Amino acid sequence: DGGITQSPKYLFRKEGQNVTLSCEQNLNHDAMYWYRQDPGQGLRLIYYSQIVNDFQKGDIAEGYSVSREKKESFPLTVTSAQKNPTAFYLCASSPREGSTDTQYFGPGTRLTVL
């Protein structure tokens, strides 16, 4: 089955810890994205990558870092510098070729700071 997987589904972090959220896709999509969703709010873009070994900051990149060493993988690290990391984190991907810019989402990771 083709799709986007995120792990873990739930993650608990102590203050001062860095944690890494996994995102993998086997859709052969070029572009990948990380969003954050807080209760009652829309999705806010953290980072995005349109090609391997390249990525750009989104609207709320402070306190986060990413890497894109493989086309299939786009892990997100939530660092201790992120002051309010408790949120629902969504990874998405999009085919860059052709006319479509549709984004497809993984199941999400819910991060809670203890």
Partner 1 sequence: QKEVEQNSGPLSVPEGAIASLNCTYSDRGSQSFFWYRQYSGKSPELIMSIYSNGDKEDGRFTAQLNKASQYVSLLIRDSQPSDSATYLCAVNEGFQKLVFGTGTRLLVSP
Nearest to 76, CA basis, from 94, 103, 97, 55 = 55
Please tell me whether residue 94 binds partner 1 under the rule CB under 8 A: yes
Q: Give whichever of 15 and 101 is closer to partner 1, judged by the CB atom.
A: 101
Q: Which residues are paired to 104 by β-bridges?
A: 93
Number of residues forming the site for partner 1 (CB under 8 A): 22
Q: Per DSSP, what are the bridge partners of residue 7?
A: 22
**How near is the Cβ of 30 to partner 1 at its closest, in Å?**
9
Among residues 13, 60, 65, 108, which is the contact residue for partner 1, using CB under 8 A? 108
Is 57 a binding residue for partner 1 by CB under 8 A? The answer is: no
